[in-house]
Amino acid sequence: MSLMDASADKPHILVVDDDTRLRELLRTFLSKNGFRVTVASQAAEARERLGVIDFDLIVLDVMMPGQTGLDFATEIRRSDDVPILMLTAMGDTKDRIAGLETGVDDYLGKPFEPRELLLRIQNVLKRNRTVAAPSDEPQRLVVFGPFQFDHELGELTSKGKRMPLTDAETALLRVFTARLSEVLSRETLCKSVGLAVNERAIDVQVTRLRRKIEPDPSFPRYLRTVRGQGYRLVDA
């Protein structure tokens, strides 16, 4: 295998941060740890990169001049399910929840240890590749309502049209469709998508998923709440 071929096999990360020093430190650190790295100083520049390159993950700063990271993440999620790890100096819980609601897959507060960032990147990429399912092999295609979910590809389609999903939403659908109609606790769901056990965090992810699959998310038909127990997906 040539050096070029070996490089092409490495996950490609886009680092978006207006701090020049941090940007270059991350480029050097992540490159030394087995990643291809492209950098951008703000959302407009990152948008150009995304137009020509398929990235495996985006490391995105919240506070940037012009368009904020939260707004940019919302824009990305309208058409792309690339995993996003948010860097934020905002430590308040409501700010972290706001990040999850935009569709980011993980967040890390500044200042941070580079090793922790590396571990979080590896975990997000692993979740994006791993099928979260029980020991029995689930059937590949599961149909509920007008939707079809492909376990192997992690793709959700409706009337032949593919619907963009975050890696957390894909992991949720994998466990829900593998255990269709079964009530799953929030703890089980957190573990399935690689989140620390946090009821609010999983509620946010379920709410986001409902916005994509429910005719009226306020009155769920498919992804139902079971009071005091958790959630279950039914084929309705």
Is the bond into 134 cis (omega within 30 degrees of 0)? no
Query: What burial class does residue 92 get, using C-beta atoms within 10 Å of its C-beta: 0-12 exposed, 13-18 middle, 19+ buried?
Result: exposed
Q: Which CATH class is domain 141-233?
A: mainly alpha
| Sequential pLDDT tens for the chain (236 residues) | 444 444 557 899 999 999 999 999 999 999 999 999 999 999 999 999 998 888 999 999 988 888 989 899 989 888 788 899 998 876 556 666 776 777 788 888 888 899 999 999 998 888 766 433 444 555 778 888 899 998 888 899 988 889 999 888 898 999 999 888 889 998 888 887 776 667 788 888 899 999 999 999 888 999 999 888 899 998 86
Apex CA 136: angle with CA 202 and CA 222, to 5°?
A: 40
- Secondary structure (DSSP) of 184-213: B-HHHHHHHTT--S-HHHHHHHHHHHHHHH
What are the domain boundaries of the chain?
A: 3-129, 141-233
pTM above 0.85, yes or no: no
The backbone torsions φ and ψ at residue 204, rounded to the nearest 5 degrees and listed phi first, read: -65, -45
CATH fold of 3-129 reads: Rossmann fold (3.40.50)
